[in-house]
A and B are shown apart, each in its own frame.
Chain A
């Protein structure tokens, strides 16, 4: 049976098993109908022209893993940011692991979607925000239909979350192949501040497909810093759908580090619903083999005096494929918008490809929009220069690539993340650097 049919026909059983509040149940039922209509995206759609889901959809995925696997902290420690204090939401095969997690309800809510969907206390927030941002399409509908678990984060007014929050999804290989659909909701009230780290990690070589949806609401003057670490096995595929709504003077940034996985697609949309908003999207992609990473971004400038900054860098080896599709829409009312987009790439091997496509749709006249895209090889003159100073060829290449990707890290606000990413990048590039940039 095709995955789509399998999913549709298993909905009823799912709906029965994971009961939720009536309103949410309604939303789920509508969503499965939408999924039935839209199905999975195909390469015929403009936004999927360069990315085929075929390799990710071919497995006979389990949709409801049966049991929680007993995972010890020692097995997963290295995937966590553990040198600083954090709140942790750890999911194993889609099931919440209480013994690996640290939640809180002290001034901020860092807890589970499954409880938020069922408890009266959270109903006003769920009614206000759940599924209010994700556009209607096959993947979002599929995730919505099977909503049961994920992170629920609510930072109340005037609060600065006291530590970063990690959302980590592990898959254990208990199932021969597994489909995961985490559903996250992040609501940051006026004047509040939160830092979130998200990671998906498979612990075995069994195929995993993750179709995750995260909705983020940043109210007036809220600050949200979101870090996505994508460094999974070559048997794992990830479709990350993240949607952010911003109100006046809020400041949101998303850093995406795509360092591994079979197929990774990042749908990242910012909707600016207020003035003097700042939106930042940064990415470093370093892949090899036959890996495929697709960044599909949208910034929707609706009101005046807002800014957006996009800076994506990619290094592609072997036969890997990169896609950057960055859309910036500036509505007529959005005067004095400042939108900046840049996408720079290095193709290390002849067989590697990058498809880079900026799309600017500007309807206002008093705006500053710039975009630039470069695709190049490593600079031979620079290589020779470094080698002539005694730096071996391989290290010189690594150093140049490292330097190329480096400035994207400057805006990372959590030093431990910066250090971690630094090391991951050095490891990816196969260089041992005597320093951190």
Chain B
């Protein structure tokens, strides 16, 4: 589904990603862990198409198509979804209206008519129940004044609405309380299928108890330096990153 080869990316002339290789197949869950500032959010932004980042080398192939030339919205239409580490507040646009606009933009890109209002309401109700989101939230301005946890839950609500093929969850667990973590993970798991894949970025093994990864990668200083099974996450939790850095230096 996703094939990243030798990806290098700069921001403001500074190289952040220094040759990333990553392959994710349909049905798989991959986790990326790594120290602060190692480039995890950069990688997710580059996949989602943020223009500030300059791809200097390599390629990102999604469903046999090169993403490099596509705008962020085109990538979204193809099924790429990024749950932001820091969701942006958008005053003046309610969650509901935003969702309607987004859903209909997807439909338009796929040559479909706007979704009828009653269908839309039904979908919104269904997905907000899945994530146990209070109706009152839906009429509030998008993310404005939402608590950290509410923002993250709202991200997964959007994911549930859009049903992407590839979901990148950038530290979705941070800010969530224990109950919310279960609800959100449950929401993510419900959406999993043979056909879609999830890339989870996290600092904590705990999330991976709920969203169980097939593969765990360690990203340090812009490179994936180690890849393993889910047991690698336990090891990292216990031992930190220094041993890997040393292992690599040897």
Interface residues of A, Cβ cutoff 8 Å to B: 379-382, 384-393, 395-396, 399-400, 402-404, 406-407, 433-435, 437
Query: B75 to chain A: which residues have CB within 8 Å?
Result: 388
Whether B102 pairs with A403 at a CB distance below 8 angstroms is no
Residue of A at shortest CB range from B72? A387
Q: Do B101 and A437 have beta carbons less than 8 Å apart?
A: no
A406 to B158, CA, bound (A): 23
Q: How far is the CB of A435 from chain B (nearest CB, A)?
A: 5
Q: B93 to A403, Cβ gap below 8 A?
A: yes
The 4 closest A-B pairs by CB, nearest first: A403-B92, A390-B76, A387-B72, A385-B88
- Contacts A387-B71, A390-B73, A390-B162 given; indicate if A404 touches B92 (C-beta within 8 A): yes
Contact in complex: B52, A380 (CB < 8 Å): yes
B101–chain A nearest beta-carbon distance, Å:
6
Known A387-B76, A390-B73, A435-B101; 4 more pairs at CB < 8 Å: A388-B73, A389-B98, A390-B76, A393-B71
User: Considering the chains assembled together, what is the distance between the CA atoms of A403 and B76 in angstroms?
Assistant: 22
Residues of B with C-beta under 8 A to A435? 97, 100-101
Q: How far is the CB of B79 from chain A (nearest CB, A)?
A: 10
- For the complex, count residues of B whose C-beta is within 8 A of A: 33
Bound CA span A19–B41, Å: 77
Interchain nearest-CB distance for B153 vs A (Å): 16
A-B contact pairs, 22 of them (CB 8 A): A382-B89, A386-B102, A387-B49, A387-B71, A387-B73, A388-B72, A388-B73, A389-B102, A389-B105, A390-B102, A391-B73, A392-B73, A395-B101, A399-B93, A399-B101, A403-B93, A406-B92, A434-B100, A434-B104, A435-B101, A437-B93, A437-B97
> Does any Cβ of A come within 8 Å of B91's Cβ?
yes
Chain B residues within 8 Å of A403, by CB? 90-93
* Residues of B in contact with A (beta carbons under 8 Å apart): 48-52, 71-73, 75-77, 81-82, 84, 87-93, 97-98, 100-102, 104-106, 109, 114, 158, 162
Least CB distance, A426 to chain B, in whole angstroms: 12
Residue in B closest to A436 when the chains form the complex, CB atoms: B97
What is the CA–CA distance of A387 and B98 in the complex, to the nearest angstrom? 11
Contacting pair A391 B101 (CB below 8 A): yes
Chain A nearest CB, measured from B165 CB (Å): 13
Cα–Cα, bound, A272→B92 (Å): 32
- Asked whether, in the complex, the Cβ of B76 is within 8 Å of the Cβ of A437, the reply is no
Q: With A and B bound together, what is the CA distance between A381 and B143 in angstroms? A: 13
* Nearest residue, chain B, Cβ from A407: B92
Which of A388, A392, A399, A406 is close to B82, meaning CB atoms less than 8 Å apart? A388
In the complex, the answer to whether A389 meets B90 with C-beta atoms within 8 Å is no
Residues of chain A with a CB closer than 8 A to B102's CB = 386, 389-391
Tell me if B101 and A379 are in contact (CB < 8 A): no
